[in-house]
Amino acid sequence: MDDIFNAVILLSNFVIVPGMAYGAQLALGALGITLVFGILRFSNIAHGDTMAFGTMATILVTWLLQSWGVSIAPLPTALLALPFGIASTVVLCLVTDRWVYRFFRREKAAPVVFLIASAGVMFVLNGLVRFIIGPNDQRFADGERFIMKARAFKKMTGLSEGLAFKASQALTILTAVIVVIALFWFLNRTRAGKSMRAYSDNEDLALLSGINPERVVLITWTLAAALATIAGVLYGLDKSFKPFTYFQLLLPMFAAAIVGGLGSPVGAIAGGFVIAFSEVTVTYAYRKFIAYVMPGDWAPEGLVQLLSTDYKFAVSFMILVLVLLIRPTGMFGVRSP
């Protein structure tokens, strides 16, 4: 019987808990992408670098607070700095919209022009982030590291497998739940949120009903910037901050948004978890798990890993391809491809 428990704990430790945390981070990122797509009707390639910018701003404030000796232990100081990070990212997004996207919006340019413009924005942000904080890894997590340590868990239960639960993972899941509830409350219950959804569903009808498009766009950028910063900071706390990694997150985030259906917030969340869990389950080595589940002492020879971790991006790509082939509108999408 212990074997079964051990197997379950093993899987929780290496697949379920990390998958939940990663899924929450992807979901928050994909939400930003999907909101911008729904309202402004283009795929924002700069989203990964917006995340990097927000995280960088938060890190800088965190360092400042740390140097003053401010701390909210056991929580990481970054949480205290987060509002400043969000504020600066919001300002950044609004400035880019004012200087870059608004012109093309008035021109009624094709979506692909917006896409290229966002590539330009990505370039500038990328350079800016590297210019300010450098291209290297930065760690900024402090406070309590673990809620549950593997050794403590082993002692408590007497099992040979431990379950480690990092504080950053708990924080990620908790924050994501709060943010998502707040976002849906905003979208479904407030006047501004309803006007956003109306604009997303049918632009002309919304304009006829007297909705101010510039206001809708403003709210959208604010939300997207906040979501990007939160997602970026949580990812940075959980792993570490490196500008190039954030650029690479673009693919899984877009895959999540497309799997869920571009423009659909519920879909973005579902998509985030689909991508995260596929990535983790496909790249996990099941050798020990099978050894526990199988009767006797038999263990498989190899690692029993479907795909090496170097190819984790391939997983999101494969899922993306499958969705494009089978159902291009995604799980919750309504707009025609």
Per rule CB under 8 A, is residue 39 in the interface with other proteins? no
* Binding region for other proteins (CB under 8 A) out of 121-129, 225-233, 265-273, 291-299: 121-129
Contact assessment for residue 48 and residue 254, using Cβ atoms and an 8 Å cutoff? no
CA 200 to chain centre: 22
Binding span for other proteins by CB under 8 A among 3-11, 83-91, 277-285, 313-321: 313-321
Task: Please name the residues in contact with 73: beta carbons below 8 A apart, sequence gap of 6 or more.
Answer: 142, 143, 144
Minimum Å gap between C-beta 321 and other proteins is: 6
103 Cβ contact partners less than 8 Å away, ≥ 6 residues apart: none
Tokens linked to 196: 């956003």
Q: Does 130 bind other proteins (CB under 8 A)?
A: yes
The window from 12-20, 37-45, 189-197, 200-208 that contacts other proteins (CB under 8 A) reads: 37-45
Beta bridge partners of 165: 148
Decide if residue 31 touches other proteins (CB under 8 A): no
Query: Which one of residues 251, 285, 290, 293 is an interface residue with other proteins (CB under 8 A)?
Result: 251
The single residue among 2, 74, 95, 134 that binds other proteins, judged by CB under 8 A, is 134
| C-alpha pair distances (Å), 157 with each of 151, 203, 331 | 10, 58, 40
Strand partners for 138: 241
Number of other CB atoms surrounding residue 230 within 10 Å: 28
Choices 69-77, 86-94, 142-150, 312-320 (CB under 8 A): range interacting with other proteins: 312-320
Cα 22 from chain centre: 7
| Stretch of 71-79, 82-90, 118-126, 168-176 lying at the interface with other proteins (CB under 8 A) | 118-126
Question: Binding residue for other proteins (CB under 8 A) from 2, 72, 83, 127?
Answer: 127
Which residue number, 288 or 312, has a Cβ lying nearer to other proteins? 312
**Candidate ranges 15-23, 156-164, 170-178, 243-251; the one touching other proteins (CB under 8 A):** 243-251
Choice between 170 and 251, CB closer to other proteins: 251
Site membership for other proteins, residue 250 (CB under 8 A): yes
Report CA torsion sign: 269, 189, 197, 82: negative
Residue selected from 74, 83, 120, 300 as contacting other proteins according to rule CB under 8 A: 120
Residue 52 lies near other proteins (rule: CB under 8 A): no
Q: Which of 14, 199, 247, 292 binds other proteins (CB under 8 A)?
A: 247
Residue from 4, 95, 115, 299 in contact with other proteins (CB under 8 A): 115
Q: Is 66 in the site for other proteins (CB under 8 A)?
A: no
Binding residues for other proteins (CB under 8 A): 37, 42-43, 45, 100, 103, 111-113, 115-117, 119-128, 130-132, 134-135, 247-248, 250-251, 254-255, 258, 262, 302, 308, 310-311, 313-314, 316-317, 320-321, 324-325, 328, 337
